[in-house]
Homo-oligomer: A and B are copies of this chain.
Amino acid sequence: MGDNTIYRASTTAPVNIAVIKYWGKRDAKLNLPTNSSLSVTLSQDDLRTHTTASCSSTFSGPDTLLLNGSPQDVSGARTQACFKALRGLRAELETANPSLPKLSTYPLRIVSSNNFPTAAGLASSASGFAALVRAIANLYELHSSPTALSQIARQGSGSACRSLFGGYVAWDQGSAADGSDSLAREVAPASHWPEMRALVLVVSAAKKGVSSTTGMQTTVATSALFRARAEDVVPKRMAEMERAIAERDFDAFARLTMRDSNNFHAVCLDTEPPIFYLNDVSRAAIRLVECINAAAGKAVAAYTFDAGPNAVIYFLEQNAGLVAGTFKTFLGHLDGWQTELGNKLAGQAGVAADALEQKSVDVVKDGVSRVILTSVGQGPVKTDESLIDEKGEPVV
């Protein structure tokens, strides 16, 4: 008499965008970084991965993962490392309590979907692995804390560890060879500084550049400036950024964010061969943020760029008009403004048009294909909305 139950659990998990960047691994297998990093978790209303994990003794064959309707290869070392760690934790529970069903021995079926277009060029591996790990942990009814789970998600994708928390999140690099102290930690919940907003400028036709995994290892191996970044620059900035967040000091937050984005792209440029993620559209967006800050007389906007040309611009709700409103004056025709946050911009004046460098306006207008207007948000949320039905089949 076997157990024919289809066990299911679902979660959503957020995207995060770092303000102190992760770039460089000291252990490529375990995804252990050469420096700590810090990010803001973005609202799942706008950007999230929704994942249902299921298992059953009735499932046959290997573990599977369906993402946005397409089967994914789960045989890679990273996904396998996550499965193995989670099954290990489940097996410990099963050993301690033999009455528990032996879920750790059942094949996994996982279905996942993103609420944002892959074409947006936003790194979905962070929300993807965070949701995967959180969903299986829910399925297995693990007692592990988000920090403990972050150690597992980190092995799937480094920055995924930060998506296990909402708000403002640090990933402490740690020093242990086994990665046991390379963990994510909440610096402050979203409620500590809920006014934080982000405008993402999605740059059109962004050809995929060098993958971040390859790129960061080439930087570590060849950049003459990398050590200064990892050993001197970032440790100081981590402390300064934590203080800026604790004190809700947007000026310091903005300056550190922009400096660290530029510092990260500088070591990319110092790589052999050089790695370029910023293009002329990115640079024009930087100029416009500089124009807006100059017009405002203080830092009201902070740009940051991951391993691609898309600009993420942080600002506070109180300056939504000055920042997002200014960009809307010439990007208002694009998708992405028709949201609650976008609608609030109506009637809020941007900076004077003549405060903006016209050439940069033209380049950004030509080169940006859509915007995403969002805010700081929560960590993973358990949901009853299942992407797998009672029979174990994907919900179409």
Q: Mark A residues whose CB is within 8 Å of B.
A: 207, 224-225, 227-229, 232-233, 255, 258-259, 262-263, 265-267, 269-274, 276, 279-280, 283, 286, 290, 359
Q: Are A259 and B276 in contact (CB under 8 A)?
A: no
Note all chain B residues with C-beta closer than 8 A to A255. Answer: 272
Central interface residue in A274, A279, A280, by most chain B CB within 10 Å:
A274
Note all chain B residues with C-beta closer than 8 A to A265. Answer: 269
CA distance A344 to B283 in the complex (A): 40
Q: Are B225 and A266 in contact (CB under 8 A)?
A: yes
Q: Are A262 and B269 in contact (CB under 8 A)?
A: yes
CA distance A267 to B223 in the complex (A): 12
CA distance A280 to B309 in the complex (A): 12
Q: Are B259 and A224 in contact (CB under 8 A)?
A: yes
Central interface residue in A263, A266, A280, by most chain B CB within 10 Å:
A266
Note all chain B residues with C-beta closer than 8 A to A259. Answer: 224, 270, 272
CA distance A273 to B289 in the complex (A): 11
Pull 14 A–B residue pairs with CB atoms less than 8 Å apart, ordered by A: A207-B359, A224-B259, A224-B263, A225-B225, A225-B229, A225-B267, A228-B228, A259-B270, A259-B272, A262-B270, A263-B270, A276-B283, A279-B280, A279-B283
Report the copy number of this chain in the oligomer.
2
| Closest CB in chain B relative to A218 CB, distance in Å | 12
Note all chain B residues with C-beta closer than 8 A to A272. Answer: 255, 258-259, 262
| Closest CB in chain B relative to A305 CB, distance in Å | 11
CA distance A269 to B260 in the complex (A): 11
Note all chain B residues with C-beta closer than 8 A to A273. Answer: 258, 286, 290
Choose among B228, B270, B274, B280 the residue that contacts A224 (Cβ–Cβ < 8 A).
B228
Choose among B207, B227, B267, B359 the residue that contacts A266 (Cβ–Cβ < 8 A).
B267
| Closest CB in chain B relative to A249 CB, distance in Å | 17
CA distance A286 to B271 in the complex (A): 13
Residue of B nearest to A271 (CB): B262
Note all chain B residues with C-beta closer than 8 A to A280. Answer: 279-280
Note all chain B residues with C-beta closer than 8 A to A262. Answer: 269-272, 274
| Closest CB in chain B relative to A357 CB, distance in Å | 10
Residue of B nearest to A294 (CB): B273
Note all chain B residues with C-beta closer than 8 A to A232. Answer: 224
CA distance A319 to B233 in the complex (A): 42
CA distance A229 to B269 in the complex (A): 14
CA distance A192 to B262 in the complex (A): 41
Residue of B nearest to A359 (CB): B207
Central interface residue in A258, A262, A276, A283, by most chain B CB within 10 Å:
A262
CA distance A262 to B290 in the complex (A): 24
Q: Are B225 and A263 in contact (CB under 8 A)?
A: yes
Choose among B207, B228, B269, B290 the residue that contacts A269 (Cβ–Cβ < 8 A).
B269
CA distance A270 to B262 in the complex (A): 5
CA distance A279 to B359 in the complex (A): 14
Residue of B nearest to A255 (CB): B272
Residue of B nearest to A260 (CB): B224
CA distance A232 to B262 in the complex (A): 21
Note all chain B residues with C-beta closer than 8 A to A228. Answer: 224-225, 227-228
Residue of B nearest to A281 (CB): B280
Note all chain B residues with C-beta closer than 8 A to A276. Answer: 283
